[in-house]
Structure 1
């Protein structure tokens, strides 16, 4: 059977999941939209502080393992009739606009991101929404886009992507006449050269690609054939991110890199820590963008983004991880897109030899000692998404197997066993000194000390120190961050953060049984099979506790009511090629 991405695409619809049917289905009419809604309902100790912290550090470390691996969230879809002001999280498009009339050309759209992309080289910036993905997509576009409402992957720069052997061989057809902004053709050889460059530069996801794709061939100027070592039905997800952002051959001249792509915009002004400005590309294959310019700025976190949206200084605001700000924006009626990063809030345990977490009993004791609902109450006044499972209830990948349960008595017992064998009970715990994270840190410290741990809370205020100590030197026992599992790329998220050989495995967890389950997930032929494997992964996770998730992380991309045509894709990247602004 031959599957076509141009007309038959990967589905994660509620129907396919319930029926356990194939992961592909033919479109017939408008996609059905899915709504997931979740209602959610300690003592202090000593701490020491390291420096002064800015919200920019949250952008780097609040994504936790994502910083080192795949920046971790949810690309879920749904719709609502304008749900406002409650403690519920509804994923998908909300406060949707009616018919906006004829698109208007001109103007500069200002987008408040979490952190400005430091480079436009896809090998140096992970393609994730709010932290560089939009900048890359503006210049390069993507071969394949992800429909967040249906869970389908659809051709964008590509004309089609098909498999005729259930996912072991994929054939990509390119659109006719697509050119890079330097006037050269985006052909099959350019695609292969760009992907080879990406893998050589160890771009995000390169490890999984190299482990999975045995060869790429240009069968003609418009066709690339990808040969995999095993079937992989979610392979298109890789072409929706960094691998699918094709860099022109002219971009690299010796050590000098110039951002040349076939996207809707070209690079304009870059003022580090201030703004990035992109200019419309009149030769864009989809037609010249309506916007004259796209401007990205990084403010001081989600509350500042909300306030700037309210004052009219921002046209689009990324409001990440602060439920009170998300609910305020919803109540104000702003249109936009809500996303949930699965296991976006977690306690990362250093599993390496010589660390307390090398003893599975210590890891288990940490897991049993944590009460996600109490932590959420302290950090988010009970408005967040607490949970110890890898994929929360808003996720299509949520399974009936629960996460590790709060059980302080069992935690005490396990810790006592470890102490009897010589462990002194001390943990060095790194947390960012930002109000929400600090509150989480205090709650976690209190819960762990209640079962017998002695926790040294280290408040880190410098993103560089976090990177060096946690990600480079691995000099920590416990760190508050996030595992970060996106809806569109569960294979990549689990492989990057958990596989024994992955350089992005910040926890240092190594378990052959888990490696095999992650491989089984990659090879799952349909959603039902994938869910069965995820259930086994959750069971083994509960037994071995690589790290301890404490909740999902919600984000809201909100825009002014005169902004139209913003389209979300994989990992919460917003696409602006069809965006335009009407009169205020």
Structure 2
């Protein structure tokens, strides 16, 4: 097995926390085929899942123009091996420069070739062959073939890239055969192409790496539809069309990424047409966009808000190691009350892992609030020596939800000591780095895409050494079973079993889905969302 560094938990955490929050709604329809997610407030329209359409006719693609895309966080590296590459930060920039071998199509709910020509698996889903397009070249003129893919993936792993933990866990070898790269896995993984839609599928030029060395992070050489023209960190990243892109020169002349510091500023730039597109994660900002004549794509995130319970990390005994304490916490919490207090009833509360409207929703449901049951379980734990005290780290992103949780737990007999985190970075340090907490409201944002469902939950509760110290193997095995099958019905059945096991073990308590959206002006067409709301702009264009 290839030796790798540990999966970059911190990058995942930062992305999830950016997406954590409450949700709102609007009038726009859903063209992605999924049902709209209902809001709990009677006077608030539902949030559309999938594509949000406007009334502007598209017409035929037009050549030329610059598309400006605003995000709350900018990339700090243009090297896939050192930039995690989520949709909220870095991922779309990397996809523009390098393209990706594969993309996830939310309309078909399948992984489709992007830079690759095709991909094929054996019957056991243990070997995947990616065939590249003839004539594919990096922007330095060198050819992109199977050897280039092999080099790039192994370099990514050696550098400890963000998904290295999963490649280490699942990948035995990658070999080259002309225009083909063959990935042999250590276990069945029906959704393995998910990896190739992320940073590992952003293939770098070995010649470019050799030429620039450590400065490759600022001098990227890929085979994507755009190439670097200017990068002024904190100001803008400008990419120019690659005329030799294997899938044809892009319609756009330039692609411009700009960092914007606040969610409201992102919304204001959209409504005043100061930018062509924006990444939005605050519901109060999304609402005017959804009610206006904008296009976009919305992806409600499962467990986007969750009460993390320390199951036994941080170098000392934790109350959450006792399953009765975890169960008592779950029975004490009413997510609808939290939503009323925190969002005025406009959110998507629920303590099931996959709520109604999710691709993986099932009839099992989460634990129903029961204060008497909570008191009974807490009394049992106290009889065995638990003093009833819990240290609660309060995040800067969800203070109202945290204080409501505190009141509910106090009401059944817990004694909550609060420890406010001053910044998101401080929260990540306390919770994920040091394990210095008993409970904390957090963000574990996971979309419905099957590759992400497996990868994110397996990392957080399935693997040994997971960040909350959950030690039972039941959930991990169910997630491995989910990954192994390509049968949609079987996957959904497994997720029902996962919810049943979650209700028994209560590794943590889901609180709500949270929204995330990419919005674009009515003049913008052809943007293709992929995994983690990474965008592909190779066929994007702006009408005159």
TM-score w.r.t. the length of structure 2 is 0.88
CA contact (8 A) 1:77 1:151 kept: no
1:106-129 Cα distance to aligned partner (Å, 9 max, x none) = 332221213111112223332321
Query: Are 2:251 and 1:295 aligned?
Result: no
Q: How far did 1:279 drift? A: 2.3
Aligned with 2:180 (options 198, 223, 236): 223
CA distance in 2 between counterparts of 1:124 and 1:207 reads 14
Aligned with 1:313 (options 262, 271, 274): 274
1:321-372 Cα distance to aligned partner (Å, 9 max, x none) = x333222211112111111111111111111151221221221122112111
Query: Are 2:109 and 1:151 aligned?
Result: yes
The corresponding residue for 1:78 is 33
The corresponding residue for 2:191 is 234
Change (3 A) 1:560 1:237: same
Q: How far did 1:525 drift? A: 4.0
Aligned with 1:506 (options 467, 470, 473): 467
Change (3 A) 1:124 1:467: farther
The corresponding residue for 1:7 is none
Following superposition of structure 1 onto structure 2, how do residues 423-572 of structure 1 map, counting pairs within 5 Å? 423-434=386-397, 437-488=398-449, 489=451, 490-501=453-464, 505-572=466-533
Aligned with 1:360 (options 313, 323, 332): 323
CA distance in 1 between counterparts of 2:467 and 2:19 reads 12
The corresponding residue for 1:129 is 87
CA contact (8 A) 1:303 1:319 kept: no
CA distance in 2 between counterparts of 1:478 and 1:251 reads 46
The corresponding residue for 2:202 is 245
The corresponding residue for 2:344 is 381
Aligned with 1:140 (options 81, 92, 98): 98
CA contact (8 A) 1:87 1:384 kept: no
CA contact (8 A) 1:343 1:392 kept: no
The corresponding residue for 1:31 is none
Q: Which runs of 5+ in 1 are unaligned?
A: 1-56, 65-74
CA contact (8 A) 1:208 1:495 kept: no
Q: How far did 1:201 drift? A: 2.3
CA contact (8 A) 1:340 1:394 kept: no
CA distance in 2 between counterparts of 1:76 and 1:211 reads 37
Query: Are 2:384 and 1:421 aligned?
Result: yes
1:190-218 Cα distance to aligned partner (Å, 9 max, x none) = 11111112222232332222222222221
Q: How far did 1:427 drift? A: 2.1
The corresponding residue for 1:351 is 311
Q: Which runs of 5+ in 2 are unaligned?
A: 1-12, 21-29
Change (3 A) 1:468 1:119: same
Following superposition of structure 1 onto structure 2, how do residues 85-100 of structure 1 map, counting pairs within 5 Å? 86-97=44-55, 99-100=57-58
Instruction: Determine helix, strand or coil for the equivalent of 1:89.
Output: coil
Query: Are 2:150 and 1:195 aligned?
Result: no
CA distance in 2 between counterparts of 1:76 and 1:117 reads 30
CA contact (8 A) 2:328 2:375 kept: yes
Instruction: Determine helix, strand or coil for the equivalent of 1:337.
Output: strand
Tell me whether 168-177 or 420-429 shows the greater mean CA deviation.
420-429
CA contact (8 A) 2:170 2:186 kept: yes
CA contact (8 A) 1:309 1:316 kept: yes
The corresponding residue for 1:26 is none
Q: How far did 1:302 drift? A: 2.8
Instruction: Determine helix, strand or coil for the equivalent of 1:252.
Output: helix
CA distance in 2 between counterparts of 1:424 and 1:115 reads 42
Q: How far did 1:97 drift? A: 5.0
Instruction: Determine helix, strand or coil for the equivalent of 1:88.
Output: coil
Query: Aligned residues, how many?
Result: 510
CA distance in 1 between counterparts of 2:195 and 2:14 reads 26
The corresponding residue for 1:54 is none
CA distance in 1 between counterparts of 2:78 and 2:16 reads 17
CA distance in 1 between counterparts of 2:384 and 2:302 reads 36
Change (3 A) 1:406 1:155: same
Instruction: Determine helix, strand or coil for the equivalent of 2:160.
Output: coil
Tell me whether 332-341 or 205-214 shows the greater mean CA deviation.
205-214
CA distance in 2 between counterparts of 1:487 and 1:128 reads 15
CA distance in 2 between counterparts of 1:421 and 1:193 reads 56
Query: Are 2:60 and 1:102 aligned?
Result: yes
CA distance in 1 between counterparts of 2:78 and 2:343 reads 35
Instruction: Determine helix, strand or coil for the equivalent of 1:130.
Output: coil
CA contact (8 A) 2:301 2:447 kept: yes
Root-mean-square deviation over aligned CA pairs:
2.5
CA contact (8 A) 2:462 2:477 kept: no
